[in-house]
Structure 1
Amino acid sequence: MIETDREAWRRRLAAEEQRLNLSQGLKFVYGPWSTLDTGHVAFLSLKPGTAPPGADLRAVSDERGNSYEVERTTTGSPITGQFLALTELLGVRPREVLTGVVTPFRAVAWGNLTVRQKDGALALGREFWAGPLARPDLRLIVAVSQEAADLIITLTGATAESEISAGWGHLCLRRYRTCDGRAIVHLPHLSRFRLLSRAASRDALALAFGEAAAEAPPAVPSTGTSPRLDLISALDSADALASLPLEARRVFDTLFGSPDYAVGVLTQQVVVHFRGQKVGGLNRRLMEWYVSKLFVAAHGGPAPLERRGFQVRDVAKGHRYWARKGAGSASAFVAAVEEMSGVKL
């Protein structure tokens, strides 16, 4: 979406705000306009909240950087801390996430809007996000609120994959998958339900994002980011390498030298991608090598894995992978992936 589109949308939203008798401001993208074309992870909530002092109330996008990161010291919105904690969990930098809202008009509460105002705002959201959400390189979409999830599922045609208890009463986290393999995770609204700050919800979040987060290519670290964020973004740290067994270190050393592979580290997993598609990797907590069901489906089925002692795991509805642990599992992982991909390491 080129810069002229940004100006056209600014004029369009200003006119729609007036037509719908709204006056508190507008915003669609919580980051630079360019992230509509570049972000591999998207985070979409329902609507803009109350702006911090001095903020531009009618900016379609935020060219300063990611709004949650830029305004972290000036805003009182609880979703800010939750978003930043989520980006750390996923191993991506806030400025690299396509961040926004599915309805562009500010309001104190969604329930305060009339049916006409809600319908008008949602119609604009469907039109605006149809293009960006269709990008095949957008591997993970996080939907925050039921309205955001409904709009995203409608636009992407995703189907339900699994439902996971959030560890908070009857709340659930829901996973969906598009026909081209992109992951969608539906969270309750994080302003009210601060799951990222709740110890009882950590296992649910790990399960919801354990595979989905790894669908996004790992971030490339640079100076100026926190040491922990760099550690879970890429295996470039001597400390991270030293914590792995020798057999595993040799595998990742080999992968680093291949132009076809990328490696990234999440909180519990070392994740391997082959030409942009997730392969699987190493669960560091269990010391278990695993291969994603999507890679298996795209590369001829599980026979190369099963011949080498990998066993299928079904840990939740729709959450399937092949895994092996113990002596020789690292070399078995490499041999199976070489056979399935047709590319020697």
Structure 2
Amino acid sequence: MFSSIKRIIDKWLNIGFEEEFENDLNQKHVVNFSYMMFCLSSLLMVVVFSLREISSVAIFSLIGLLIGLVGLRCNFIGHFSRAQLLMPVLKISQVSILSLFYFGTNSGFHWLFVNVIAYSFVVFRADQRFVKFWMVCASIALFLLCELLDTRGLYLTSFDQGVVVIFVFLALSFNFAMVINLVMNRLKSVNRHLRTLAEMDELTGLSNRRKVLADAVNIFADSVINRDSCVFAIVDLDHFKKINDTFGHEAGDLVLAKVSAMMASVIRPQDEIGRYGGEEFIVIMPSTSLKQAEMIMESMRQAVENMLIETEHGIVIPVTVSIGVACIASSVTRYEEILAQADKGLYVAKRNGRNRVSVQSDYQN
């Protein structure tokens, strides 16, 4: 149930925002949430005071609801600055008028100014410090005014005022909990994104050297502990320098991207692949025999050989790869030793004419 509610809230908060990692996405979420809470509370007051036949408060709340919906729409259609500024003005106006002229200061309704202060600090950026300053000052000044004045509510009984105090407490608690949750989720999302960027090769979309070597360490350690088979392969594009020199570096980048996508589609879900550097790639195959690995790498070699990579000028670039394969052995103590053996296999494949898979059988089980 709670997960369903969370998904619905997330869906509403993201309406109108397509880019997941916009710099001001967190502020937009808080603005959306603030408008939704404002509209919901205004709708609640419209219903309650209409049923109690207190038309002036109902009409005032209805006007606030309509303006809140306008602000919400502004945020949805991309007019973020307008929506951002309208929200605190709308909230300050509502809380001030209801506290001083309708509910009375004894109702504690003016404590909702705290929401405006929190909103100002979260939503307004450093270059909007002037607006932030005045919103915070206005909220504090009006809060102190309500505290100093002793006005009686025209439409609330003592019991009603107690209910309003409870409502204000719950509203403040929920607002702070949601805003903190939004900020924390945003930070987690950005951290995950930054971690992904730090571990991904930008051109190919594969794991970069640091990430694939870290995976190699972990997979190698698990294989040693579990006494399981593990195979490493080094893949190298044949005559890549010639491709760059003949067709240009843009064509070379295209080849790297296309070949990387093809190789990633050929390997199994449990395998790892990453760019080792330049036109070299590492494939790590846990729980795999040398024979199985050779078959997988042969499928990869054939898939690359059969590719038709065409530049924007209609030039078809033929591409092949050479692959060296090596398997873990009982005498191996470091993953670098398997990589060294795979590199020897790659050297043999190139020396024997390229476009082939060479298995370093010294480590065969």
Which protein has greater RCO, CA pairs closer than 8 Å, 6+ apart? 1
Whichever structure has more helix as a proportion of its residues is 2
TM-score (norm 1): 0.25
TM-score normalized by the length of structure 2: 0.24
If each structure's strand is expressed as a fraction of its own residues, which one has the higher value? Answer: 1
The structure whose Rg is larger is 2
